[in-house]
Amino acid sequence: MRICLSIALLFLLGSCSRKAYLFTSFREPANEGLRMLYSYDGYHWERLDTVLLRPSIGNDKIMRDPSMLQGPDGTFHLVWTTEWKGGNGFGYAKSKDLLHWEDVKYFPAMLFDPFGPKEPVKSNVVNVWAPELFYDEEKQDYIIVWASCLPGKFERGLEEENNNHRLYYATTKDFIGFSETKLFLDPGFSVIDAVIVKRGVRDYVLVLKDNTRPERNIKVAFGETPQGPWKNVSKPFSDKFTEGPAVVKLKEEWLIYYDSYQKKIYEASATKDFIHFENVAGKVNVPEGHKHGTIVTVKKKMVNDLRKKFKK
């Protein structure tokens, strides 16, 4: 009875706001497709009991790390990892309602060497992991950031050559024409899973995973533009064996969710300044099996409509 009352109170409180939240997700072994969590407060999450888009492109026909945002015209744009290893790009699709998807295609992000002559480098690219979307309001560009490993390009430190990642990016205004791929961040260590956060004018934060063997945790860096340069990489604010950060602004604080994959749970840290962090894992509730995604703030009606359509 107490649990039922708590759930009822949660939805009653959520009904006072016009906003709600969607959290893109997938389930291992990543062959089912796009799943979604929803929340009315950003802390407590429930599953939509359906697959919204099935993977159909890429060598492995999988969907990992789905990143989604809603553009200024209301269109949802989605990118995702299509191969664990061996591919040179990522998947893309768009939708107005999250039910009907179109323009599903593969973007060969690492077709050419960003550092030299424009010669095909597919055979030398180990992977293209976790593409993440960000909309640059000043330039009216979409930025896609991902991690790739090009063996021999960087000092590898303790990493194997095929695990020494750096971050790359491309921009687009329409997901038809794309800029050339460029290096986004070389922090001097293997880095993956990057999320750009805008705090204010010329004030951006990059949430990232230090993927080196001694670390494997979440850190932040700071910049004046969403393309960097990124400076002052912080000490970790998460435990080791954490990855896949997702960030949402709730009132005066930011919540950073991340997969604590050794513990097999999702945790979260709260911050007001990206300098001081508080682990709030005891205050959030994320369904078991949820994997690396992004959080999108939407109108509450959209969540209500999706719940009605896919209610058990």
| The predicted structure's pLDDT at residue 16 | 66
| The predicted structure's pLDDT at residue 7 | 47
| The predicted structure's pLDDT at residue 14 | 47
**177-221: per-residue pLDDT in tens?**
999 999 999 999 999 999 999 999 999 999 999 999 999 999 999
Residues 209/218, Cβ–Cβ less than 8 Å: yes
| Residues of the chain where predicted confidence (pLDDT) is lower than 70 | 1-16, 117-123, 312
Domains of the chain are 19-309 (2.115.10.20)
pTM for this entry: 0.93
| The predicted structure's pLDDT at residue 158 | 83
| The predicted structure's pLDDT at residue 297 | 98
